[in-house]
Structure 1
Amino acid sequence: MRSDRLSRRAVLGGLLAGTILPASSSWAAGSTAGLFLHPSPIPLPPLNMQDGDGKSVGLDSLRGKAVLLNLWASWCTPCVAELPALDRMKPLLARTGLAVVALAIDRGGVATCRATFARLGIQSLEIRTGDPRILTEALGARVLPITLLIDRKGDEVGRVIGAADWEGASAVRLLAALAEGRPLSPDMAPTIGGGKR
């Protein structure tokens, strides 16, 4: 019975990985950090997230806007290092039609997210949490931080693996193109962890 469960889990994991990250993507080829653009947009599964009051929220309310969906956890030092820049950028990017969502994939849930935001002085980002296991499997999040680049139709067009310099020149070009619905290109890769990858 246990081997049946493991087999089903392996098959489900493979299907999810194939759905979220096709074999033709650079990420599937074994790279570990940087900008990874998908050959064609990938529909996202429904995401069961909660806000700071524990109410269920999703990305449906953002349909028609491009979304920068940052996955982070309080125990992940590079994740936490990205949050202040994302917080500063959120109101500026909102004017361009680009929404910034920081989704905590942390077992501590809302309490841990609230404590991290308070410690960092986060003012613009809203609390978003969810079941770490379900979300990491559904989104193919093998490492953190990961930031999904989602187009106006709600499809993932790429992702950034690693802590990015979101206020750098390359990232600004990437985010402008995403907000405007223009094609993204490898030369728009943001600086990752102190060096371009």
Structure 2
Amino acid sequence: MVKKLPLSNSMAVLLIALVGMVSLATFRFSPVDLENLPDLSFQLLDGGSLSTAELANRPALITFWSTSCGPCLSEIPEMNRLYADYAGKGLQMLAVAMDYDSPEAVRETRDRLKLRYPLATDTEARAVRAFGNVRVTPTHFLIGPNGSVLLRKIGRMDFDDLRTLIDQLLPNVG
């Protein structure tokens, strides 16, 4: 004969399991708090480098992405439009490929999807660590002209909201 737990005991076990799962997910996927742009140099896909010091005094959008990330790939057309609309007005953009993406895979994806904005590889995961152990893609960071992290968005970006934020930042750029 199967012994049935009273309903209150069953609910307690379920609640404990749920709290444990939420705590684990929060611990595993929440990046370290990041208030300011870290001091770092990015390796650009086509050679050369870009340091965070070169991003100073202008707003910047830095996006961590992967060639195997469906949401990342679906954002590329909107990111291209954002770059076309704002690069000439002072917004700097950089896409950082995750360390598990080979430069060849990144280059092929860039060419196939016509990615137009600057692209860096992070084969040693230095940028991933410097930005608080980024684990989920896409992860977007909007950096203010003073180097402060204004927005960290994990997952798909709401580009209407992003454009509103960028519009507020650009008049303040000298």
Q: Distance in 2 between matches of 1:180 and 1:160?
A: 23
Q: Distance in 2 between matches of 1:53 and 1:71?
A: 17
Q: Distance in 1 between matches of 2:44 and 2:155?
A: 25
Deviation at residue 43 of structure 1 after TM alignment:
1.9
Is 1:159 aligned with 2:152?
yes
Structure 2: tracts of 5 or more residues without a match: 1-30
Q: Of 62, 74, 78, which aligns to 1:81?
A: 74
Question: Normalised by the size of structure 2, how large is the TM-score?
Answer: 0.71
Is 1:72 aligned with 2:87?
no
Deviation at residue 149 of structure 1 after TM alignment:
0.9
Give the 3-state SS of the residue equivalent to 2:54 in structure 1. helix
The match for 1:63 is 56
| Aligned pairs (5 A) from 1:137-156 | 137-140=129-132, 141-156=134-149
Contact between 1:62 and 1:99, CA under 8 Å: does it hold in 2? Answer: yes
Deviation at residue 181 of structure 1 after TM alignment:
4.4
**Compared CA separation, residues 147 and 165, structure 1 to 2 (3 A):** same
Q: What is the percent sequence identity of the aligned residues?
A: 29
The match for 2:168 is 177
Q: Distance in 2 between matches of 1:137 and 1:61?
A: 20
Contact between 1:104 and 1:128, CA under 8 Å: does it hold in 2? Answer: yes
| Aligned pairs (5 A) from 1:12-27 | 17-18=32-33, 20=34
Cα-to-partner distance string for 1:71-104 (whole Å, 9 max, x where unaligned): 1111111111112211122121123321121111
Give the 3-state SS of the residue equivalent to 2:61 in structure 1. strand
Question: Normalised by the size of structure 1, how large is the TM-score?
Answer: 0.64
Deviation at residue 146 of structure 1 after TM alignment:
0.8
Tell me the number of residue pairs that the alignment of Structure 1 and Structure 2 aligns.
142
Give the 3-state SS of the residue equivalent to 2:100 in structure 1. coil
Structure 1: tracts of 5 or more residues without a match: 1-15, 21-41, 183-197
The list of structure 1 runs, each at least 4 consecutive aligned residues, that deviate by more than 4 angstroms after superposition, is: none
Structure number with the higher helix fraction is 2
CA RMSD of aligned residues (A): 2.2
